[in-house]
Amino acid sequence: MAAKERTLSRARLLIALLIATPLFAGLGGCGQSVEHFGGPTMGSSYTVQYVPTGQSPDAAKLKAEVESILTGLDEQFSTYRDDSVVSRFNALPAGACMAMPADMLKLWRYGEELAQQSDGAFDLTVEPLMNLWGFGPQSRKEQVPDAAALELARARVGHQYLSQGGESLCKSVDVQLDFDSIVAGYAVDKVSERLAEQGLKDFLVEITGELKAVGHKPDGTPWRIALEVPNGERERQVERSVALDGFGLSTSGDYRNYFEEGGQRYSHTFDARSGRPVRHALAAVTVADAQVLHADGLSTLLMVLGPEEGYTFAERHGLAAFFIVRQGDGFVTRVTPRFEALFPTPE
């Protein structure tokens, strides 16, 4: 699906940095196999891999249930379709209120929590800025805007202009919501919950690069995920691999989605406090959390804050985070104590 036709997701940033490739060595003689299915979603794709049980439905039924969940989220959160819930809310004028589904209110409340924790660095209302700079659903071209246009867009950005009244969300300014920074992680959580309800105990779910693994492969070994760092324009190298069971991973970065103008690199990641793309040395950050919704939002937040402020935030809040930082012509990595405790470096 072309970028201009994509539905929910931000660009799939972590392809060069994190590969969800379970290693299936040693399956011979274990009597089980790994089933899998997938397809397009959120402007990218999804995959589900699982070890079937005697009680689990067949793959066709599981796929139908997973795609029903994804379709329902698309109908709520897609900024690339005019009839979605979020698009209808975004079209409302200042002073309007609109009844919202439970999923949307839950994600808005979590976004508000992150906004308050970060003094507004994370903000779900940055869509006018994304459109202005060329990264949003109504973008015309990637460009550095003039000062007047930037000030007009900034006047429409701010989490403080939204409030909840009962089951409705209200706007005091003509703000526009964009949940791309958290909805894919939430989708992974919902799909994982549904698979567990169907009796599956061993599976890996990946949606637009956000993922969660539960249980083990048929040979009893864990699902292992390779964390990579860029090594040249097209080369990549594995920095370390992590074994996941009950945890999700989310990566945010600027390695793929950016433009250059006048010798300056402009990332798709925005700091709502300045109204501009971030300009720091953090290339990417991966966060591990039992709830992929949290990992998704926190990886975006840390990416906005940058290598120093982001690391301080992660350490203070006990987050498991893996940072990739530009240094000269290469990259260096840094992990938080919580990440090291969960995924120790092999000796």
| pLDDT tens, residue by residue, 87-137 | 999 999 999 999 999 999 999 999 999 999 999 999 999 888 877 766 666
In sequence order, which residues have a C-beta less than 8 Å from that of residue 201 and are 6 or more positions away? 51, 53, 214, 215
The CATH code that applies to domain 78-171 is 1.10.3980.10
125 phi and psi, to 5 degrees? Answer: -110, 25
For the chain, give the percent of residues with pLDDT over 90: 62
Compute the distance between CA of residue 51 and CA of residue 257 in angstroms, rounded to an integer: 35
DSSP 8-state code for residue 10 = P
Give 37-99 as a DSSP string: EEEEETTEEEEEEE---SSSPPHHHHHHHHHHHHHHHHHHH-TTSTTSHHHHHHTSPTT-EEE
Cβ(230)–Cβ(17) below 8 Å: yes
195 pLDDT exceeds 70? yes
The structure's pTM equals 0.87
Domain residue extents for the chain: 78-171
User: Which range, of 202-206, 272-276, 287-291, 315-319, averages the lowest pLDDT?
Assistant: 272-276
